[in-house]
Amino acid sequence: MNHNTPLTPRPLRHLTEVHRRVLTVAQLRSHGVTAAVVSEQCRPGGPWQQILPGVFLLHPGPPTSEERLHAVLLYAARETPSAGVPVQPGADEPHRPGYTEAMITGLAALTLHGFSASPPLLSLERIDVLVPRLRRLRSTGCVNIVRTPALPTPCQVTGLPVAPVPRALADAVAGLSDAAVVRRLLTEAVRGGHCEPASVVRELNRAKLLTRPHVVDAVDSLLAEGRAIAEDRLYRMVREHGLPDPVWNVDLRLPGGPHLGGVDAYWPEQAVAVELDTRAPRQDEDALWSEYARKREYLERLGITVVHLTPRKLRDAMDQQATVVRTALMASGDRDPAAYVVVLPR
């Protein structure tokens, strides 16, 4: 027995199918495979091959997309005493290795999330893997290491840890110079219901990508797309929940006086306004929020109730938002009459 021989080898039959084909040197050692055997199996023309440093493919052909994904995660994941070899499961339950401090991001993550605008996995020369900034890893082979001060909570997609869509988008956009591709990816994120525009712009801003002209242009299209979707949800909410018809997209003014601001829906008899918050979290966010707050405060001083809705609330809790609006309409009879305002289309 030598230092490469485990005291209690673990049987390969307890691994899932893909994890029988892609293993690290530490995992092979835990299954009783010595370094000498690994070297012999990986000889030229042999049945195994080294796909990444310390990661082996236990067949001679090209790796499948699934094998590549698991290989890059095995390479990037932090080693633990049981890395990739969890506690012994039941007889019929295979091992599903956990990948600590590593997740798929970038274009590969978007493809796993179901984006049609991202390329097939096998066409990607490199797969982006997100790891903590202080990890001592380097990009090599098909692995591109992406570092971050704080890892987001991963999504589990086909059993793999995958970065959330906003973060994956930011990491993908960082490596893209084609404006049309960037626009298609950002548009699909919103149109496909993967996330809200604000969360995408927040990640792009955090990654300092909003100084690139082609990214700024794509963001403008994204925000327009997001507003259109939010407005459509607002129309649906009024229609499907039996709310009275408002006047849509109007400007409010005092008679002969100043412009009070635009609102997305207004019920003149009840003096209730709905405003969609589709702000993008960019550098001028504080100024924009101050403008929203000033307008709301001014309207409410005139006796107009302002209901503030976000696209996310309309998407995730439309019933609840309809109740909020209905309550505001019903409460109008208990308030003092609002000041008379002029309603103009915008």
142-151 tens-digit pLDDT: 999 999 999 9
Give 217-241 pLDDT, tens digit per residue.
999 888 888 888 899 999 999 999 9
Chain-centroid distance, C-alpha 314: 19
Among 29-33, 38-42, 281-285, 300-304, the least confident range: 281-285
Strand 55-57's sheet: what is its strand order? 22-24, 55-57, 49-52
Q: Quick one: pLDDT at residue 198? A: 85
Q: What is the pLDDT of residue 310?
A: 87
Q: How far apart are CA 28 and CA 39, in angstroms?
A: 12
Report helix angle 179-191 to 213-240, nearest 10: 20
Domains along the sequence of the chain with CATH: 1-100 (no CATH), 104-240 (no CATH), 242-345 (3.40.960)
Is residue 82 pLDDT above 80, yes or no?
A: no
CA distance 252 to 305: 13
pLDDT band at 281, cuts 50/70/90?
Answer: low
What's the pTM value of the predicted model, to 2 decimals? 0.76
pLDDT above 70 for 248: yes
Instruction: Calculate ∠ Cα 97-103-105, nearest 5°.
Output: 145
Indicate the DSSP class of residue 225: H
**pLDDT given for residue 294 in this prediction:** 81
* Strand arrangement, sheet containing 259-267: 305-309, 272-276, 259-267, 247-253, 342-345
Of residues 114 and 18, more confidently modeled: 114
Give the Cα separation of 197 and 261 in Å (integer).
Answer: 23
Residue 92, pLDDT > 60, answer: no
From the number of C-beta atoms within 10 Å of its C-beta (0-12, 13-18, 19+), residue 330 rates as: exposed
- Name the average pLDDT for the chain: 86
